Amino acid sequence: MKKIVVTLFVLLFSGSFLFAQCPYKYGANETDSLKCLEQLTNFDIFLKAKNYGEAYPSWQYLVQHSPCCSNKLYTANAQNMLKALIQNEQDSAKKELLIDTLLYLYDASNQAFPDQFSKGFCLGFQALAIMQYRGNEMKKDFSKVEDLLNMFVRSVELDKEETQPTIWDKYFQLAERVTKAKKDTSYVIEAYGRATDYLDVSINKSMVQYESQVAVLDSLYELYTSGKIDTDYLVHLSKKPAADTARQMKFVMSYRTVLAKIEKSVAPYASCEVLEELYGKKLESIKDDISAVNKVVITMSKGGCLKSPVFKEALLIQHNAKPSRTSAYWMGVLSLNTYATNNDKSELDAAIAYLQDAVKMSETNEQKCDANYKLAFAYMTKGSYSEARNAAYASLKANPNYGLAYILIGDLYKNSGGRCTDGIPYDYNWAAADKYAKAAAVDPSCAAEANKHRASLKFPTKEELFRRGMSSGASYHVGCWIQENTTVR
């Protein structure tokens, strides 16, 4: 072990000279290259066997002499090697040197393979390692906690939406720790602002990639069902897009999990009053920094602070500077809220125009579903029932299991009494009942709401049915603007 410690000193203090050798992947001459390949083979064999004590000397040699020979020197398995050595080391001085080496690995990985290991990624994982292995130091000196928090901040601002979920998790935990210690909510709220801003983008990007690969799989299945490709070729062609969909959905779930955890943790600190006070003071100074304004809009919208004048001001700055799907959506929501307050029809028309823009700029099915549903609600509020139904069906096209859209269509039918008076009284409610039943069937989360709407319906009396020679269970066509086939009840 003495030899390892000496080598560690050489390794750690010669870092600035390491990458002058990178033009030579394996070495400057044949002898060096053969030595490198030999050590790389040994490292690979021992690493796969988790024989870390034997793998480590080869790793040291390679990082010193051929740091760009293979990304295996820096991937998770190499990191796990150092973590295992740290865990098993009993000598405190040697353990500290191994911790220094792990921290150095992240710097080296960025220098050797910057396209694979970004600066933000490496900085974030350095922060995680310090948090794990240098916790006692931070207990003694709180300034080290603040330094580590700044390290996380730099990592997140470098990687933005590419920031790993585990880095988000620990960053927010540390921000909460500083907030409690200094009794200053700005730390946790700023962390929350970054999380809501960048994590929404992370989720969106992963969903776009997921849906693109689902479309590939759907097209392959169509070729298969039409007989253009056989089973073996289908399996062969589907392997990569199937793996990609699984990977992207894993990203989506990981990002959503950490965002939900952060949103739950921030709740005690981020009341609308606190957010309004914090952002109200700084909005004027950040109004030219659209990225910072975006964080204000997203944080306050997620906090339900839609009636805040600070939110409205930030949203106007955001939308006027750089209209986006998000800004158009919330401008539409604000206009709907304003209409509900003052009954100004121009606000309703504005809401529809904003939400139409939000639909056009939506990228994922989730966004399309949400924006179309809100547009359907705006049309229904205006009394444009056909347009409202079209938007609701557009929402269902994006998500066939979105029960609220079926409830909205049912409400359109239920409210059609003043428009459809030539048929049997309340016959339109048969069609409405179908939609409420469909909502409960496809979306258990809104089943109670759908059943409540269903229970409020009035149907033609038995006398009405008898006079018209109709019986329960018979087929019936609802006319008027509805034009639906249904069943007599």
Q: Which pLDDT tens digit goes with each residue over 110-135?
A: 999 999 999 999 999 999 999 999 98
DSSP labels, 272-299 = HHHHHHHHHHHHHHHTT-HHHHHHHHHH
Q: What is the pLDDT, as a whole number, of residue 259?
A: 92
Q: How does residue 32 score in pLDDT terms, banded at 50, 70 and 90?
A: confident
Q: 472 lies in a domain?
A: yes
Q: 336 lies in a domain?
A: no
Q: What is the pLDDT, as a whole number, of residue 138?
A: 87
Q: 311 lies in a domain?
A: no
> What's the start-to-end Cα distance of the chain, in Å?
85
- Domain boundary among the residues 179, 202, 217 is at 179
User: How many whole angstroms separate alpha carbon 406 and alpha carbon 255?
Assistant: 29
Q: Is the pLDDT assigned to residue 18 strictly greater than 70? A: no
Reading the block at residue 129, the tokens are: 């390692």
Q: What is the pLDDT, as a whole number, of residue 278?
A: 87
What does the pLDDT average to over 293-312? 91
Q: 409 lies in a domain?
A: yes
CATH of the domain at 139: 1.25.40
Q: 372 lies in a domain?
A: no
Burial state string for 85-108 with b = 16 or more CB within 10 A and e = fewer than 16: bbeebeeeebbebbbebbbbbbbb
Q: 143 lies in a domain?
A: yes
Q: What is the pLDDT, as a whole number, of residue 10?
A: 45
Q: What is the pLDDT, as a whole number, of residue 489?
A: 86
Residue 358 sits at φ, ψ, to 5 deg, of -60, -40
- Domain boundary among the residues 179, 200, 229 is at 179
Asked if 434 and 411 count as a contact pair (C-beta separation under 8 A), the reply is no
Q: 207 lies in a domain?
A: no
Q: Which residues form the domain of 174?
A: 2-179
Q: What is the DSSP letter of 485?
A: E
Q: Is the pLDDT assigned to residue 391 strictly greater than 60? A: yes
Reading the block at residue 22, the tokens are: 């990178």
Asked if 479 and 420 count as a contact pair (C-beta separation under 8 A), the reply is yes
Q: 122 lies in a domain?
A: yes
Q: How does residue 23 score in pLDDT terms, banded at 50, 70 and 90?
A: low
- Alpha-helix runs per DSSP H in 114-184: 119-133, 135-140, 142-159, 165-182
Range ranked top by mean pLDDT from 58-67, 217-226, 387-396: 387-396
Mean pLDDT, rounded, of the chain: 91
Q: How does residue 19 score in pLDDT terms, banded at 50, 70 and 90?
A: low
Q: Is the pLDDT assigned to residue 2 strictly greater than 70? A: no
- Domain boundary among the residues 150, 179, 208 is at 179
pLDDT (tens digit, 9 = 90+) per residue, 446-471?
A: 999 999 999 999 998 888 888 888 88
Q: How does residue 22 score in pLDDT terms, banded at 50, 70 and 90?
A: low
User: How many whole angstroms separate alpha carbon 325 and alpha carbon 367?
Assistant: 9
What does the pLDDT average to over 421-439? 90
Q: Is the pLDDT assigned to residue 3 strictly greater than 50? A: no
User: How many whole angstroms separate alpha carbon 441 and alpha carbon 435?
Assistant: 10
Q: What is the pLDDT, as a whole number, of residue 401?
A: 97
Q: What is the pLDDT, as a whole number, of residue 335?
A: 96
What does the pLDDT average to over 159-187? 95
Q: Count Cβ atoms below 10 Å from residue 16 Cβ, excluding itself.
A: 8
Q: Is the pLDDT assigned to residue 303 strictly greater than 50? A: yes
What does the pLDDT average to over 196-218? 93
What does the pLDDT average to over 197-211? 93
Q: How many domains does the chain have?
A: 2
pLDDT (tens digit, 9 = 90+) per residue, 245-272?
A: 999 999 999 999 999 999 999 989 989 9
24 or 433, greater pLDDT: 433
What does the pLDDT average to over 147-170? 96
Strand, helix or coil for residue 208: helix
